[in-house]
Amino acid sequence: MFCPICGAQNPDNAPSCAACARPFSQADLKAAPPPAPAQPAAAPPQSAAATAYAPAPASPPRVYPPIDPALLYPGIPAAAAPKKMHIVGIIAIAAVALLGIIAGFALPVPDLPNESQAIGYRFGRLFAIFILPLLIAYSIAGRKKARNPNLFAGLFCGVALFCLLGSAAGSIKVETTDQMLGRLMREAAGLQPVRKSFFKEDKTETQMRNFFKGVIDINKEYQRSLDALDTSQTKKLNTPESYADPDSVTEALRQLHAAYDLDALQEQRLTELLDKFKQDVDQLPASEREQMLRGFDQGLAKVLPPRQRAVAAEKAWVEALDNVYAYAQSYHSDFVLANGHVGVRDDGIREEFNSRIRALNARRADFLQARAALEQIQRQTLERIGMTRSQTGLH
């Protein structure tokens, strides 16, 4: 029998075609064989040898119907689908791009002199996050000869996420308390741009920064007033001439009191600022309040007690000085000046005066010691957080 698909001849009882492997049905087996080809006209008699080697008559050509590929290769489409990116790839690229933009602006930047440089740094980071993945993905699966949209999407997203994680790891650094205090103080002084969060404002840092800004403003105003203060006459104090003639140092004492009043005013303003800061801290959630107080205790809290002691020691010294000159004024007639030395005629008055001088010297030593301790801890604190005295508004 002949195969109805390819036309190949097969035995009558064959289960399938030997040429195309198409299985035969019962209808095919019962089908009548094709008619025998027509016999040619009788040829003139030939010799036996010629008859033995004569070619067989040629069969007429047959026309076969087109073959259905679905019959030859069941389950395989006849032609490949057009190359289009899967919806998952499109969504993945969009998600990675959005994540990269958010991270590019949300991740912190290094300490830069101004905001313009900080913005430029953020755009440069975005360029690095996206350009390298794009070049890699295009070179492998984006060129015309090797175009594969789904592979392009996978390569781009994978490399972009790797670059993004690397950038995040390099940008996010855990600040120590001293580093945070230094950064906030530099931001408060305008020495570097304020670090902004992409998602929400950090109230803890905002309040600490505002507190430092208030301290710096108070320091600047104090320094301007101190620079304008005239203390030229104070060098006459604690001299034999001044004890012999207390009226000669009236202006010197006034200048000394003005200097102390300036120190006391600064201490008062800092105390008021600190009280307001504590009130603001009490309104924060417990976790944020604990973080702010921990930073405060390790920073400014160490400076405040020595400062308070220095101001108190200064007040005690000024009061002791007033006491000495008030006593000298009361017994002015018993004081004499001879050869650059002051003498007191009355033994009792002299002993009392010397006692007051010893108390004055003790108060002065306490004040100098307290002021030196204050300057030392101020210097150590500023060095630890990376600041200088001039950056806080003082000379």
Neighbours of 276 (CB within 10 A): 14
Helical H segments across the chain, by residue range: 26-30, 48-52, 69-72, 87-106, 115-141, 149-171, 177-188, 203-228, 240-244, 250-282, 286-298, 304-330, 347-385
Tell me the pLDDT tens digit for each residue of 40-55: 544 444 444 444 444 5
Res 113: pLDDT: 59
Cβ neighbour number for residue 135 with a 10 Å cutoff: 13
| pLDDT score, position 79 | 45
Q: What is the pLDDT of residue 72?
A: 42
| DSSP bridge pairs for 106 | none
Q: Which residues, 6+ apart, have CB-to-CB distance to 354 below 8 Å?
A: none
DSSP 8-state symbol, 65: P
Distance CA 328, CA 23 (A): 137
Q: Shortest CA distance to 189 belongs to which of 177, 181, 200, 197? A: 181
DSSP, collapsed to helix, strand or coil, labels residue 144 as helix
Placement of tokens 């950038």 in the chain: 167
Q: Enter the tokens of residue 341.
A: 């030395």
Could you tell me what percent of the chain has a pLDDT over 70? 76
Decide: 314 and 260 in contact? Cβ < 8 Å: yes
Cα–Cα distance, 237 to 129 (Å, whole number): 70
4 sits in which H/E element: none
With cut-offs at 50, 70 and 90, classify the pLDDT of residue 78: very low
Answer yes or no: is pLDDT of 68 > 60. no
The string of pLDDT tens digits covering residues 127-157 is: 777 888 888 888 888 777 777 888 888 888 8
Query: Over the stretch 203-224, which tens digit does the pLDDT of each residue have?
Result: 778 888 898 999 999 999 999 9
DSSP 1: -
pLDDT at 19: 77
Neighbouring C-beta atoms of residue 211, cutoff 10 Å: 23
Which of the pair, 350 or 58, is modelled with greater confidence? 350
Q: Which residue has the higher pLDDT, 16 or 62?
A: 16
The predicted structure's pLDDT at residue 33: 54
Token pair 């200064």 is found at: 314
> How confident is the model at residue 290, as a pLDDT?
72
Q: Which amino acid, one-letter code, is at 271?
A: T
CB atoms near residue 28 (< 10 Å):
18
Is pLDDT at 301 greater than 70 in this prediction?
no
